[in-house]
Amino acid sequence: MAWRRVWLTLLARAIGLQATPDNAEEKLTALARQHQAIFVLDGLEDLFQEFSSNHRQQRALRALLTGCTEWLRSLRGRPLGLVVFVRRDLVLNAIQQNTNQFFARHQAYELRWNRTEALRLVAWVCEQADVLRSSREVAIRNASEDFLIKLLFDVWGQKLGLPNSREARSEAWFFAALSDFNLQIQARDIVSFLSVAAEYSAADKNVARWRDRLLIPTAMRQALPECSRDKIADISQENPPVGTLFQDLQRLPRDSRKIPFTLETVKVSPSDARLLEANGVLFRDDDQYWIPEIYRHGLGFGLSGTGRSRMLAIAKSIRGRGGSD
């Protein structure tokens, strides 16, 4: 109740009311009788940088995400709305009961890039660079996934090898390489990957062999570790709790940095593991844990003997869970 009143006070003051925790509810109720308003909150991750361990911060977040919304819904006609931009890991730490119910209720508002949107970004960048040789039948902004896949054959070929090879399809490898275990793929990772892969392709001595594409397979593979290191640095700056765990993992002896692993092997507590899982960095398979490619290289983890084939199976299973083939 105390934290809810604090948040309601901030909302009231944001609209110009002289409110205190003692009268904020009364002030907002009076406002709601005559006006409509939508309050928008952003930047919570900057305010609550110890959310994974600080119970006070967790209670404050829980009051905002559940207490304030319930109070606003109690107003007749619901004239006041609240939009909160918040990361998934903050929600998981703040709402530890009925978490799935909370996510299900707000699923329609989840900000997530899908495969088609990611391919559109790739095509748009390549269009700006004037490297798409194929004539376009439709605008990239409205293109279907199948059309984009074929359009991008000019960029990275049909497969990560010759067309009749047993290598992975280029777009499938692209998603597996850059997506985390929450099926999230970020625009900056896409642009960074294209830039680095293009540099490596231009410098490769065998570039003449791949006249059907701009980015050659070896360059794409070489670009991933560099992009992974950049991502580790970016996430560490934006999400200090996760960044601290990244540092702990990078300090492990090289022999311990093998996938799959147990929490005991890498000295990670169950609570820290949940934080990494919430951010798509870990996936639990029985009692073993896996790290996606976009994080694995930057953290310096290698794959055990049978790890690569199992990693592919896990990645396919996760994509199937998310509705992607």
Residues of the chain above pLDDT 90, percent: 63
**Structure tokens of 211?**
């006249």
**Structure tokens of 179?**
């997506």
What are the beta bridge partners of residue 159? 161, 169
- Please say if the pLDDT value at position 323 is more than 50: no
> In which band, very low, low, confident or very high, does the pLDDT at 320 lie, cut at 50, 70 and 90?
low
pLDDT tens across 260-290, in order? 899 999 999 998 999 899 889 999 988 889 9
DSSP character at residue 305: T
pLDDT tens across 214-255, in order? 999 999 999 999 999 999 999 998 888 899 999 999 999 999
305 φ/ψ angles, rounded to the nearest 5 degrees = -50, -45
The answer to whether 96 and 52 are in contact (CB under 8 A) is: no
Residues 153-180: what's their mean pLDDT? 91
> Measured between alpha carbons, how far is 268 from 252 in angstroms, rounded to an integer?
11
> Measured between alpha carbons, how far is 291 from 181 in angstroms, rounded to an integer?
8
Nearest Cα neighbor of 169 from 217, 204, 117 is: 217
Q: Which of 48-52, 194-198, 268-272, 274-278 has the lowest mean pLDDT?
A: 48-52
- Please say if the pLDDT value at position 137 is more than 60: no
Three-class secondary structure of residue 293 per DSSP: helix
**Structure tokens of 42?**
């952003």
> Measured between alpha carbons, how far is 154 from 29 in angstroms, rounded to an integer?
60
Nearest-10 Cα torsion for 189, 190, 194, 200 = 40
> Measured between alpha carbons, how far is 85 from 46 in angstroms, rounded to an integer?
12
> Measured between alpha carbons, how far is 183 from 317 in angstroms, rounded to an integer?
11
What average pLDDT does the structure give for the chain?
89
Q: Which of 125-129, 133-137, 173-177, 301-305 has the lowest mean pLDDT?
A: 133-137
> Measured between alpha carbons, how far is 167 from 165 in angstroms, rounded to an integer?
5
> Measured between alpha carbons, how far is 300 from 48 in angstroms, rounded to an integer?
29
Looking at residue 9, its pLDDT comes to 97
Residues 303-314: what's their mean pLDDT? 65
Pairing type for strands 288-290 and 283-285 reads antiparallel
Query: Which single residue is written with the structure tokens 């991750």?
Result: 45
Looking at residue 162, its pLDDT comes to 87
> In which band, very low, low, confident or very high, does the pLDDT at 93 lie, cut at 50, 70 and 90?
confident
* Amino acid identity at 260: P
Non-local (6+) Cβ contacts of 157 within 8 A are 163, 170, 210, 212, 213, 215, 217
Three-class secondary structure of residue 134 per DSSP: coil
Non-local (6+) Cβ contacts of 70 within 8 A are none
- Please say if the pLDDT value at position 324 is more than 70: no
Better-scored residue on pLDDT, 206 or 174: 174
